Amino acid sequence: MAAMTDEGPSIDRTRPSIARVYDYLLGGTDNYAVDREIGDVFKRDLPGSVAIAFANRAALVRAVAEIVTTTDVRQFIDLGSGLPTADNVHQIAQRHAPESRVVYVDIDPQVLVHGRTLLAENDRTRVVAGDVRKPEEVRAHPETLALIDFERPVAVILSAVLHHVNDEEDPAGIVRYWRDQVPPGSYFFLSHFRSGDNPETAEAEGILHQTFGRGRWRTDEEIASLLDGLEILDPGIVPAPLWRPDDADGPRHGGGGQEITVWERLIAAGLARKSA
């Protein structure tokens, strides 16, 4: 998570990127050999890690659709958005409400490159090169201000990003900052690696630390505490496949009342609202 200007550094193909490894696990092509090497470690040593990635993505899709179809919120800030893949936030939101506006925020230079492509195609989408740990800079960025009206409710997306923020970097403070910046009626979607108190959790956490030098699994209670001051909506903080599943998710992702795997229990999701 090194600092980055709007021009951004050149893409380093010799070091793995969190965004590119995630892209590889989701079946994407915007990754390099070094990313695939790490992704293959997850696939080999943690055979359910691909299910974690898909369970998280499916929960995000459901949450954005839920917000845009059941509320008047038409503004989204996606913090730590990662590389574009199928059903990006703007695609989901604008499918239901074409007037929806989305600001993507990420520090990875490759995300910025792809984001500029999105920007060229869609004038209701912006990409900000920014560090999630420096929310004031993201809030004040001209591209953010060009698209987001902070006098109106905003949906803040924190999908699979805060588990990359260590305790000493104050992840709760990041959420608190955005909570204070948006008006009542705003929503927060959060997904996060979930402590399972099992060998799978320990091994996955160890690989992340060894590869990226960071990564913090948290309990359901710790994840809920990140949303302090917000109203956590039903069904609360739960494994991602169990967050408002639908039949389209299929048996593997908790649809149709099917049992989910130990791996899919390692990613939690929740939706919260700012009531006052």
Query: What is the four-CA torsion angle of 93, 135, 34, 267, rounded to 10 degrees?
Result: -60
Judge whether 5 lies within some domain.
no
pLDDT by residue (tens digit) across 183-228?
Answer: 999 999 999 988 877 777 777 777 766 766 677 889 999 999 999 9
Judge whether 45 lies within some domain.
yes
Judge whether 10 lies within some domain.
no
For 239, list phi and psi in degrees, rounded to 5: -50, 135
Q: Residue 247: what pLDDT? A: 64
pLDDT by residue (tens digit) across 154-166?
Answer: 999 999 999 989 9
Judge whether 109 lies within some domain.
yes
Judge whether 83 lies within some domain.
yes
Judge whether 143 lies within some domain.
yes
pLDDT by residue (tens digit) across 10-54?
Answer: 677 777 777 777 778 777 777 788 888 888 877 777 777 778 888
Q: d(Cα 82, Cα 251) in Å, to the nearest integer? A: 26
The range of the structural domain enclosing residue 131 comes to 18-273
- The domain total for the chain is 1
Judge whether 85 lies within some domain.
yes
What CATH number should be reported for the domain holding residue 217? 3.40.50.150
Two tokens at 150?
Answer: 């902070």
Judge whether 198 lies within some domain.
yes
> Does the model's pTM come out above 0.85?
no
pLDDT by residue (tens digit) across 84-99?
Answer: 666 889 999 999 999 9
